[in-house]
Structure 1
């Protein structure tokens, strides 16, 4: 076969009947590509949610409120899991992705425990009249 001419749709020297000999991408590679794309979107969403939690902690620090140790540790674990998950996604490392799943789960469960631990935030959910006052608490709950 010769090189393609810019004006022609098919190379010179063929009648188009060589279609059955062309390479086709195997289905498993297509599944892996779709999975990586989905995981990338999940990692971005998780990073945005983590950023909301970090902003909440920053507001608490600026207002000279005591920092929650459990929330801080869980946010750190989640941040590390996102970084490891991204490395595992890019390099297709199964062990990194397993670590991401475990660490991310621990981070989310710890964040939920941190919110449950604070009774002020639970009062903000049950009493809608305080929502204007407890905006920071509602931001914390939304982050979780």
Structure 2
């Protein structure tokens, strides 16, 4: 077997220009990520302010503005989608989603709402027979 002598190829500095191209690409990605983080922070602050105004109007007893609620929900969804680059965020979000859906199902089943829908669906289905 032949042994290597000297440095392996690629470590003697001959690939310096290639490494600089890769380095600038990484720099652009890092700049883009920091810009995205700043924009998401601004959007989060905007969502918090909107939520506070919505809660303030609800505490005064005024009617719920459906557009404000939908805007708040869409903004929250946009923030969550922006954070999906990190796997730990995906795991935490899926856990929160599972817990929220189980609470919603429990509330829905305790109120009898699902029974009314099931009965209406059953009557509609059997009326075609």
Q: Normalising by structure 2, what TM-score?
A: 0.50
Task: Report the structure number with the largest CA radius of gyration.
Answer: 2
TM-score by length of 1: 0.45
Q: Which protein has greater RCO, CA pairs closer than 8 Å, 6+ apart?
A: 1
